[in-house]
Structures are given as structure tokens and as C-alpha cells.
Amino acid sequence: MRTLYHEWLSPFCRMARVVLAEKELDFQLVLEKAWERRPEFLAMNPAGETPVLVEPDGEVVVGGEPITEYLEDVYKDRALIGTAPLTRAEVRRLAVWFNVKFHREVTVHIHGEKFLKRFLYEGAPDSQAVRAGMTNIRTHMDYVGYLTDRRLWLGGDEFSIADIAAAAQFSVIDYIGDVPWEQHEPAKDWYARVKSRPCFRSILTDYIPGFPPPTHYADLDF
Amino acid sequence: MRTLYHEWLSPFCRMARVVLAEKELDFQLVLEKAWERRPEFLAMNPAGETPVLVEPDGEVVVGGEPITEYLEDVYKDRALIGTAPLTRAEVRRLAVWFNVKFHREVTVHIHGEKFLKRFLYEGAPDSQAVRAGMTNIRTHMDYVGYLTDRRLWLGGDEFSIADIAAAAQFSVIDYIGDVPWEQHEPAKDWYARVKSRPCFRSILTDYIPGFPPPTHYADLDF
């Protein structure tokens, strides 16, 4: 059985899960408490980070982007990065935008302060950092609106890893309840379309004991 | 003419430069002071970051990894990510290791504190951050030694973007003079092999006015 080692509310693990689901590949999810630095896990990934994918034949693929690119290299039926080189460059540009820029400007501040710190008993959230994240997310929501005003999906007219990378980041902040959807209708419309796709269903059923999502989190008509 | 908009001592710009050179593609380098947020540059990349590649036909490709993947998609003669999917996954794992992990644990601390702060008149380096970078780089040098003990190059038996991503990061720290080569012979041997490749020559001739490199920086027998 194909196995994905993941952590709760990791946007990069969510990206890998959605890519696997969109390509209709069976897999089991195994929760890895990466901070415990389990020797068997470090042997698979010396960086000690999730996600790690183990293929049915035992081959190991490490990291959100490498897993995505690997699945795209091997399972070509349902292309998620596109085929023309310039389309692929644009899709990858936007995937990096959300995996790096959104992550640095929003996710680290909100998820890091309000979830990770609590989960790892590292004290109260830094309210200044949370506020910075809450300010920055609006710029990214405007950018989603700008893109979907010109295209069907973020990277072009096909659903792609640009959408998956973006929705993975937004979904983490939405689980925490901090996405200001009401003031950003175009971004909300785009996210509603992503949520309604079968590949996203498993993300919406996530439930962390002691840290429940807001009621709208799994609602397709939020 | 193909143009690469770049900044001094940016590892991601250096990665793009070396990939272009290794694929023997002609290009001109244009220095972009990204922090000035020039409107024409923001129109090419709304993230406002280098590197940005403009192809001879005017097409724009944005970002270190997307440029690398784009060049690999289009100019296949000299493969730098490999061909077999698992080889590609391993090469990409190591490229991410250096582009993300090394960058976060070493480059940001040393380059950010000792170069960027000075360049942008942001005050004295934080010596605690510099010390953290100097400690962390040793772990990465040990890892380079571990890998090259088992393989000809970092990602396998072929020179690849794993080597290019790693050498781009190391070269930035080496320009600042802070790589402890003498205590890490296997890493030094690997870097000497990278330095001696024609694709790396332009990196070694970089000279920032008012911030010269140490004398060993361009020396192939350092």
C-alpha cells in the first residue's frame, strides 16, 4: 500500500494529499510526529520533515514539491502542472508564490503562533505576529481575485498545482478560523470551487482532537 | 538576447546563472535592485523578487526553481535533473534541502546579517544569528561529505541541480569568507570540483564594489 507520512495542518502535506487524490491514487495516511525524530523516519528523510511518500514498491520520495513533481512525472494521465513549458513555468511560479511567499507572510505567523506554539506548549501567541499575518493575507486574497478575474483557475484555464498549493495554505488558516472570506468574494468563490472537488474532501474531514475547526470549515456553501 | 535579471549574492540568481551556463545558453546579466520596486520589473514579477528570466522571444519566467525546471523542460540536451523519476525525485529533494533548509539555517543568518544589513544600511550584524549560521553550516558540510562518500555528485553519479543549488548557497557564504573549509575536507573537495567547471566561472568573477571577496574565493586550489 502507498503511504503518506504527514502532520496535521501542514500545508505541504495537504498539497501532497490533494495531488494523490486528484490523480486517483490509493494511499494510506500515517500521522508522523516529526518532532519526536523517530529513527526509522529519519532514515527515510534525514531532514526529519513531512511529507514523505512511500510507494507500493517501497521507494521513498521526500518533500512537498518533489512528491508533486514525482507524481506528475510518473502518473501523467491527469496533468496538474500542464504540458506546454510556459504553462508549466506559470503554474510553478504560482505554486512557489503560495508555498514560499504566502507561507512566510501568512502561515508561519498565524499557524505558527496560534497552532504550533499551543501544540508544542511553547507559550502564548505573539499577537503582533498574528496581526501581521492577518494583514498580509488580504493582499494574497486580492491577488487570487486578480488572477481569477482573468483566468478560470489560478495558473490558467486548468485546475493545477497552483490551485492546490494555494488552497492547501488557505485551508490551514481556515481551519484556525482566520480567513476573512466575507471581505474577499472572488477569493471565496475560487475556494468554494476548490472545496467542492472530490480531491479536497479528505482535507475537509480533518479533525484535530482538542482543536476543532470552525463550523464553516467543511461547509461547501460557507 | 536572453536576459537574466539578478542581484548580487542571491543564491537563487546564482543557481539560474549556473544552469544557463551549464546548458550553454547565451544570456546577458542585468542587475535589478529589487528593493527599489521598479514598476517595469513588478509588471514582470509582482512578487518583486529576482531572478527573472526573459527569453529571446520576450517570454518571462519567474523564480529560481521555475526557471530551472523551465530550462530543463525546454533545453533537454544537457539534463540537470536526471531522467528516471526516482533520480529526479532525489535530485529535487537535495535541491530543496539547500534552497530551503540550508538557506534558512545558514544563508539567512550569515548573508542576511553580514551583507544585506550593511548593504541596506540596517545596522550592525546580530552576532548571535551569525554564530547560529556558523554552527549550522558544519552540519551541512558533514552531509555533503556523507553524500560524496557514497556518490560521485550530491544527487547521484551525474552533476545535477542538487550540486548547483548547494554550490550556489555555499558560494554566497564563501564570498563573505565564512565557510570553514579546512575542517571539512570532503566538502572542500566537492566544492573544488564544482568550481573547476566552466559553468561556475562567472560566479567566481563576481566582484561587489566596496565588498570584495577573500583571496581564496576564486582560487581553484583554495
Q: What is the mean predicted confidence (pLDDT) over B83-110? A: 97
Closest by Cα among B98, B91, B201 to B141:
B98
Contact A65 B92 (CB under 8 A): yes
Is residue A101 less than 8 Å (CB to CB) from chain B? yes
- Pick from B66, B101, B143: which is nearest to A93 by CB? B66
Whether A221 shows a pLDDT value over 90: the answer reads: no
Domain range B85-198, CATH class: mainly alpha
Give the pLDDT confidence of B122-180 residue by residue, as tens digits: 889 999 999 999 999 999 999 999 999 999 999 999 999 999 999 999 999 999 999 99
CA distances from A125 to A58, A122, A180, B148 (A): 40, 9, 19, 42
Half-sphere exposure of B221 (CA within 13 A, CB side): 0
A residues 129-148 near B, CB within 8 Å?
A: 143
Closest CA to B51 of B74, B34, B39: B34
pLDDT band at residue B188 under the 50/70/90 scheme: very high
Query: Which of the residues B42, B52, B73 would you substitute to probe the A interface, choosing the one with the greatest number of A C-beta atoms within 10 Å?
Result: B73
Residues A190, B45: Cα–Cα separation, whole Å: 22
Fold annotation for A3-74: Glutaredoxin (3.40.30)
**Interacting residues of B28 by C-beta distance below 8 A, sequence separation 6+:** B1, B2, B3, B4
Three-state secondary-structure class, residue B136: helix
Look over chain A and give the mean of its residue pLDDT values, rounded to a whole number. Answer: 96
pLDDT tens per residue across span A56-93: 999 999 999 999 999 999 999 999 999 999 999 999 99
State the amino acid at position B164 in one-letter form: I
A65 touches chain B (CB under 8 A): yes
**Does B56 contact chain A (CB < 8 Å)?**
no
CATH 3.40.30.10 range(s) for chain A read 3-74
B24-33 average pLDDT score: 97
Cell of A213: 475547526
Which chain A residues are Cβ-neighbours of B96 within 8 angstroms?
63, 65-66
Of A70, A92, A97, Cβ closest to residue B47: A97
Q: What are phi and psi of B172, to 5 degrees?
A: -70, -45
Euclidean distance between CA atoms A61 and B90, whole angstroms: 7
Nearest CA in chain B to A143: B46
Nearest residue of B to residue A83 by CA position? B73
Size of interface A-B (CB pairs under 8 A): 64
When pLDDT is cut at 50, 70 and 90, the band that residue B49 belongs to is very high
CA-wise closest residue to B140 among B101, B190, B182 = B101
Residues of chain B with CATH 1.20.1050.10: 85-198
B41 and A CB contact within 8 Å? no
pLDDT in tens, A113-142: 999 888 888 889 999 999 999 999 999 999
Average of pLDDT values for A165-177? 98
